[in-house]
Amino acid sequence: MKDSGEYQPYSYFQLMEVSLRELLVEKGIVTEAQVAATVADMRARTPERGAKVVARAWTDDAFRNKLLANGSQAIEEIGIDVPALRLIVVENTPQTHNMVVCTLCSCYPRMLLGIPPDWYKSRSYRSRAVSEPRAVLAEFGLHIDEKTKIRVHDSTADMRYLVLPMRPAGTEGWSEERLASIVTRDCMIGVAVPKLA
């Protein structure tokens, strides 16, 4: 009766998920199709979407200004949908490095970048990013010198944050696509900076 593939017994929480979902479907609150569509939708939200935004900001000053003034609106205007996202874009400069954390839970610009990585939600990151940002960045391999200011943003309420990294030297004349390829998720959280491949 079983088709190919291994079966494993449900863990308590997996059992809870299946049970909750089936009850909600039985009660007409959601459908299996909606759940599947939402899973697919979230899967499609990846850091590449954020990288496009950064690359555009690097090559288009008017867009960059709009982005810094109203993040969500600027992004929607270039055709990237970010429902319910209230985004503040913070810009790295030679004098200032930005870093984002949610000490209270795991707030993250999910509708732009997708689901955050485990480490962003970890006790260590959430505790230490606010109180010892330089030490945490060093653990990520990013050394910010003492003369540069660090701004740590704690997403405690309704706003979400995207770091606009500095465009590295040596990228003159690059296409937006090529520029986007060096912007990683970690650059947009602020624990990395773009590197030339």
Of these, 56, 64, 66, 126, which contacts another protein (CB under 8 A)? 126
Residue list 26-45, contact with another protein (CB under 8 A)? 27, 29-30, 34-35, 38-39, 41-43
Distances (CA, A) of 189 to 39, 62, 69, 153, 185: 23, 23, 19, 10, 7
In the complex, the smallest distance separating the C-beta of residue 94 from another protein, rounded to whole angstroms, is 14
> Is there a contact between 103 and 130 (Cβ–Cβ < 8 Å)?
yes
The type of residue at 146 is E
Cα(190)–Cα(155) distance, rounded to whole angstroms? 13
- Does residue 91 touch another protein according to CB under 8 A? no
Of these, 84, 169, 196, 197, which contacts another protein (CB under 8 A)? 84
What one-character DSSP code corresponds to residue 57?
A: H
In the complex, the smallest distance separating the C-beta of residue 37 from another protein, rounded to whole angstroms, is 8
Annotation says 187 is catalytic: no
In the complex, the smallest distance separating the C-beta of residue 145 from another protein, rounded to whole angstroms, is 9
Catalytically annotated residue among 105, 127, 131, 175:
105
Question: Is the Cβ of residue 9 or residue 173 nearer to another protein in the bound state?
Answer: 9
- Does residue 21 touch another protein according to CB under 8 A? yes
Cα(17)–Cα(123) distance, rounded to whole angstroms? 25
Question: Is the Cβ of residue 72 or residue 167 nearer to another protein in the bound state?
Answer: 72
Residue list 50-79, contact with another protein (CB under 8 A)? none
Distances (CA, A) of 193 to 98, 141, 185, 189: 10, 10, 10, 10
Those residues with Cβ within 8 angstroms of residue 4's Cβ, 6 or more apart along the chain or in another chain? none
Active-site annotation, residues:
102, 105-107
